[in-house]
Amino acid sequence: MHQNLYILIFYYFVSMKLLVQLLFFAIALLLTFLGLISWFAVSIDAMSGSLANYTQEENMYAAVGLIICPLISIIIYFMLWKTNFFTRNNS
């Protein structure tokens, strides 16, 4: 009887690990898309020459979009890679 309970607890924690990994993957994917959109928007602004007219607040938003979002997503992808999220056999 206790063995079945231990197996159920083990499967519960394994499924919770997968849910947490999926949540982190969704966050990393969202940050990746935000970074790509930011790179595209800043490159379009740079072509028209209006990049020099940014205020300090807009410069901070651009820095977050261009540097912070991709950096955090790369860290999350690396963490998921080290926990074998991208392998076929998640043992």
pLDDT grade for 53, boundaries at 50, 70 and 90: confident
Q: What is the pTM of this model?
A: 0.74
What's the mean pLDDT in 6-14?
Answer: 68
Q: CA-to-CA distance for 91 and 81, rounded, in angstroms?
A: 13
Position with higher pLDDT, 59 vs 26: 26
Burial (Cβ within 10 Å: 0-12, 13-18, ≥19) of residue 54? middle
Is the residue at 59 inside a domain? yes
State the residue range of the domain holding 66.
23-82
Tally the domains of the chain.
1
46: confidence class by pLDDT, cuts 50, 70, 90: confident
Per-residue pLDDT averaged across 49-75, rounded?
86
Within-domain flag for 12: no
pLDDT band at 77 (very low <50, low <70, confident <90, very high): very high
Surface-to-core class of residue 62, CB atoms within 10 Å of its CB (0-12 exposed, 13-18 middle, 19+ buried) = middle
